[in-house]
Structure 1
Amino acid sequence: MTKSQDHVLAIDAMGGDAGPKAVVEGVAYAIQRGLKNKIIFFGDKAQLEPLIAAAPETRDAEIRHADNVVSMTDKPMHVLRRGRDTSMWAAVTAVSEGEVSAVVSGGNTGALMAVSRKQLGMIEGVDRPAVTALWPTPRGRSVVLDVGANVDADENQLVQFAIMGEAFFRALTEVERPTVGLLNVGAEDLKGHELIRTAARVLREADPDMSFHGFVEGNDISKGTVDVVVTDGFTGNVALKSAEGAARLLGEWIKQTLTGSLNAKLGALMMAPGLKKLKDRMDPGSNNGGVFLGINGIVVKSHGGADARGVASAVNMAASLANRPFRDEIISTVQAVMERRARLSDAKETTVKAAVV
């Protein structure tokens, strides 16, 4: 792969609820704000050509025609069997063949995960993928994973999620030692079920290089108590959707309050610059883009309903990760932690046998 090709991004232009228009406009928005990567759009050429013509920032982008589209209702197994002529499949193929460094799609999450695992495989030593979410906090942003790839996870997988989340946060922010916490029903060591207590013990004993905080509770996510919050996909997805719903409710209350009377409207007019900043901070699009960690390639899932700004956020994330060696770091760290865990287990077993004798 040449140096110029290291920066190429594949964009599934047909994925997402808003169709290719929002995708092209999102890439144009990202280019306006400094994106330098070469772009390849995968999708219906007849639909894409006029959209690109209307967005001059994307005039250097390449179009790769794909006959079909993965719908939001398609089952993953159906796509694996019959989806090879879709824009999603073609975009992921470009990653697997080394033509591009990363792929962005707003399409069917289950199908994208299945196609990515099929074509790219898993990182060595990782059992299951995990989906990330960027969470706004007073300190900036935290990473939460898993938010939907796995309904449950055992202690080994939680340990792997922690390692992947740490490496991902470091690649995204260049923070040398991000703090990591396990989401639990309480911060005390005795809280939670045996599975999560075992995962905490492994991280403390077998990964001394990790800045492991211990257990965190649900309110710690938005407080930014740690940089990386680790949980299973069921809990993480419920937390994410609950936060999104709370943000929408708060936004609606603010809107009703500021338009409820003439005095309120006048006050809102005077507060317009501050309200604009608040709206931007509450906009989920500013943190759009979930990365499929554990997949042996960079796959970024854009929210299906993302507007141009949201698509741009996902594209910029893909670009920022494209040349970061965090996958190599995950491989080496997982291997080292598992080896330390095995040695510690052997040492404890020897100690127990000696005590019995």
Structure 2
Amino acid sequence: TGYCWCVTPQGKLLHNTSVRHARPKCNRRGKMRRGSGLIGLRNQKPKKECGRIERSNFINNLIRSFTVEFNRTSEVPKNATELELEKQAVSWKFGTLDKDSNKTLSRDEYRELRKLVRKVVKPKKCARSFSRFCDSDRDTYISLQEWTKCLERRTIKRPRGNKKKNPDGELGVLQGSVPLLSSDTAEFGAERSDRKEEPEVNDCLSDRKSVLEEQSNLESYVPECAPDGRYQKIQCYKSTGYCWCVHEDTGKPIPGTSVKDLNPKCDAVQPPSRPMKGCPENRKNAFLKDLMEFLSQTMEEQKLSGSDKGLLLIDQHPLNEQIAAWNFHALDTNKNKMLERKEWKTFRTMISTHKKLRRCGKKLPRYCDVNHDRRISMTEWLNCLNAHKSSSGKYGRC
């Protein structure tokens, strides 16, 4: 996978030290950026995955766009080779985006580029995950080192006998003349103002497939996935014997959980109880109990009516977790593994006529949204409902 990280003299993984295609600075742990994780490229729909060949085509097309723009707007050295020119163009583009000249691109600095890339550069299925692919340590910032490593020209090796051209034109950009990928390009001004940026979706299954396709060493780390596409709580690097706990939505390691030749006790790593604004602790506990009963009743009614097709229960999980997960999937109408604001309206309508649930129920979305991104992940949902607590009884698989 190209990842390296620091360990203790005993071989124990040090959190927040993993980097991709570079050597970690193990003697400067305090200065490492937050958010490192063993995560690769992700996509939402299997049929539209960005594989190795597609990604190479995308990077080459993007470099071509930068080079054309560089030629139009800068003085180009006369004797520069094509490879030298491309490297200069990539470096130049980084400089135009780096407004504060700190050799790091923040999300605000590359947001407009990301929007334009998704409209212009092919294959489009790779454009959606462009910023995530370049941000190898997942800290939402793209350093100059990450940028130059990400935007290196790829050599495309196709299977023998496959001379068929891609019907979607993936070997070229969208238009015959390569457009300028700058935020002030006039032809995109009208669309940019009223078009919302789509959220990127975390998907362990796509991540795992991408790693398996690219790895040349069978001893590389391969993520383990749950049936719903999230990461398994326990991840292991089998060739070293180390296992650790991760956040199920992102796959990022949980500090202090790494052990060797043992399975870490990830269920013991529970988030602390948080206050719900406008709903005191005793009332909150009663509300969550009543809500779980309401969700259980809703699930049973849907099962009896036969309108729960495709909503499966994982019978080895605690009953409360099964109930909460079933309702999450029922509310997640666009199947992006996130409850968004439109989907919360359905939930609010459900509980608006229930006297016991109405008051605290209005506060639930903000309470569940721990990272304040206006979306509720499965893990946030299960945690805020206390669904991980043990409960008696099991449901069979639907």
Task: Say whether the fold is shared (TM-score over 0.5).
Answer: no
Larger radius of gyration: 2
If each structure's strand is expressed as a fraction of its own residues, which one has the higher value? 1
Query: Which has more helix, going by share of residues?
Result: 1
Q: TM-score, normalised by structure 1?
A: 0.28
Q: Which has the higher contact order (CA 8 A, sep 6+)?
A: 1
